[in-house]
Chains A and B, each alone.
Chain A
C-alpha cells in the first residue's frame, strides 16, 4: 500500500489493512508522526514521544503476527491533553502542570490501548478544557517555543473551536485517524462542527472520568472524534464501560457494540426539530446547511417533527453557574504543594498558594474560579447553585417531554461557522455562543456533530444530533446514513 494513501483511510479501513498485513503498525505510526511534524504550524500537537509510540506499534505488530490482535490493533490515536498518560507529559494546556508526568494512564487511554490503539501524542486544547476557541491554551505546541493558538485547517486565520480544538484540527488535517476529546458544555461537538469532522459525546457516565483532569465533574464526558460515524462507533465501543472502583459516577452498564445499528433503515424515524434552535442569532449559512441536512433525512424516510425545548436560553446561565462552581472546587487541588507549578517567591504558605495560582492559571480559568467561588460562598449558594441545579432538572425534563414525540433531535451545533482568531474580545458574551450544545450537556444526553455542508468562505457546518439516554447506537446510525448519502465528511481542506 502506498504510504501517501494511509492518512486518507478511516479507522475501520485502517484496522482491516493492519490485520490483513497490507501495512504494519510501525509504518502507520511513522506515517502519522511524519505528518504531525510536517503540519506542526497548525499547533495541534503539544507532545510527541516517538520512541514510546514506536514501541507500542511494535507490540501491536507482534500481536498481529501472533494472531492475537485486538480489534483496533495498530490504529494510531492521539489524546486530548486532558487525559493523563504515563508515556507523555500531561498539561491540561496550563502552566500549572508544566512538566507534569502522570504515574498512570486514564481509563479511557488504557481501554483504547487495550483495544490495540497506538498513541501518537497529546493534543492542544483550551486550558483545563475551558473555552470554545483553543485560544486559552497556555502551552507551546510541538515545534514552538511559546503558546500558539491552534489553527483551523480549513482557514488558518480561524479558530478550530474548543475546547477539543487540537483534536478536531488533527482529524481534519489527517494528522491522526482517531482522537479523543472531552465535552463538558460542547467541547467535542463545537470543534467537530468548526473543523468538519464527526464527534460524539456519549450519555454521561458511559465513559470513565478516571484520569480525565476534572473541570466540572457532573458534566465532563469523554468521547471520540474521527472522520465518520462508523469510525466513532468503533472507538466509542472501545472507550466505554463501567469503572466502578475508580469513577463514582460511572454507570453500571456493560460495554456495548455501538456500531450494531449501522445500516438500519431510517424509515419512519421521527426527528424532532426544536424551534428554539432556529431563532435569532443563527447565521443564515448555518441555517441553510442544517435545513439541507434535514431535507436529506426526509429523503431517507425520516419524518421531521416540530418540538419545543422552552428553557434553551436558560441553559446558558444554568451551565455557567454549575460548571464554574464545580471547577472552583476541582481546581482547588492546584496549590503548588503536590504537583505542578509553584511560585518562586512568597512570604508564607497562604502567599505561596495565592501567588502559585495567580501565576499558574490563565485568565479564563481565574474568571471561572471566581464565579464558582462566589456562587458557592455563604449566603449565595441557594440563590445560584441550588437554583441552577433545580433548573437543570427542568431542562432534563423538557427533553423527556420532547422525546415522547420524537426519536432523536436535530439542529445546529453552533450559531456560526468558525470565527477569526482574536475576534472575540468579550469572554462573557462568548458564553452565549454555547447555547445549542449546553442543553444536552446539562441533561447528560448523548450528542453528536456530523458534517452537514459548508457555509460562507467554504467553512464547515456541523449538524447536531441529540439522542435520549443510552441511544448512542441509534444516533450513530442516523449519522452514518447521512454520511452514506453525502460526502461532506470525506472532503479535505485545501492543501491537506
Chain B
C-alpha cells in the first residue's frame, strides 16, 4: 500500500508541519521507501502476544508509578519563562485565538 500526496498533506497537517511542495514530494518517496521495509513486520503472526511498553517488563512486573498530587516545586516562573519567545506580565503570548 503506497502513500499518496494527499496522505502526506494530511499527516503533515496532523504533525503541524508546513512542507514545501519539493519537501512533500521528497517525503512521499522516502516514506514509501520506509514502509517497504516495514511490510515484513506486518506479516508476522503476533496472535496472543501482549505488547511490551516498558522493556524490563519482559522479566518482571513494572508498574507505572504515580506520585502524590501535591505541589513539590517552588515557583520558578521567571526561570521557566527566560527562554520563551514572547512573554508579557508573566504570561506566554500567542496570536489572538478568540475574537
Contacts and interface: CB of A to CB of B under 8 A. Distances in A.
Nearest to A336: B85
Contact of A205 (B38, B54, B85, B92): B54
Nearest to A313: B40
Contacts of B76: 103
A339 B37 contact: no
B80 interface: yes
A443 B72 contact: no
B71 interface: no
Nearest to B15: A373
A251 to B, nearest CB: 7
In the A-B complex, the 7 residue pairs with the closest CB atoms: A444-B55, A389-B51, A103-B79, A342-B85, A393-B52, A396-B58, A390-B46
Contact of B58 (A251, A341, A397): A397
A245 B72 contact: yes
Interface of B: 3, 7-8, 11-12, 14-19, 23, 27, 30-31, 33-34, 37-38, 40-42, 44, 46, 49-56, 58-59, 62, 64-67, 72, 76, 79-86, 92, 94-97
B17 to A, nearest CB: 5
Interface string A324-344: 000010001001111111100
Nearest to B64: A248
Interface in A122-177: none
Contacts of A419: none
Contacts of B82: 101, 103
Contacts, number: 174
A428 B85 contact: no
25 contacts: A103-B82, A203-B56, A204-B54, A205-B56, A244-B65, A245-B67, A314-B41, A314-B44, A317-B40, A335-B16, A337-B84, A338-B84, A342-B85, A346-B95, A358-B18, A366-B23, A369-B17, A370-B12, A373-B11, A390-B50, A391-B46, A397-B58, A428-B37, A429-B33, A431-B37
- Chain A, interface size category, equals 35 or more
Interface SS of B by simple majority: loop
A394 B15 CA distance: 30
A443 B16 contact: no
A349 to B, nearest CB: 5
Contacts of B15: 328, 357, 369-370, 373
Interface of A: 99-101, 103, 203-205, 218-219, 244-245, 248-249, 251, 313-314, 316-318, 320-321, 328, 332, 335-342, 346, 348-355, 357-358, 361, 366-367, 369-371, 373-374, 377, 383-384, 386-394, 396-397, 400, 426-429, 431-432, 442-445, 469
Nearest to A468: B59
Contacts of A386: 51
A371 B44 CA distance: 20
B55 A396 contact: yes
B56 A367 contact: no
A349 B55 CA distance: 38
Report which residue of B17, B31, B81 has the largest number of chain A beta carbons within 10 angstroms of its beta carbon. Answer: B17
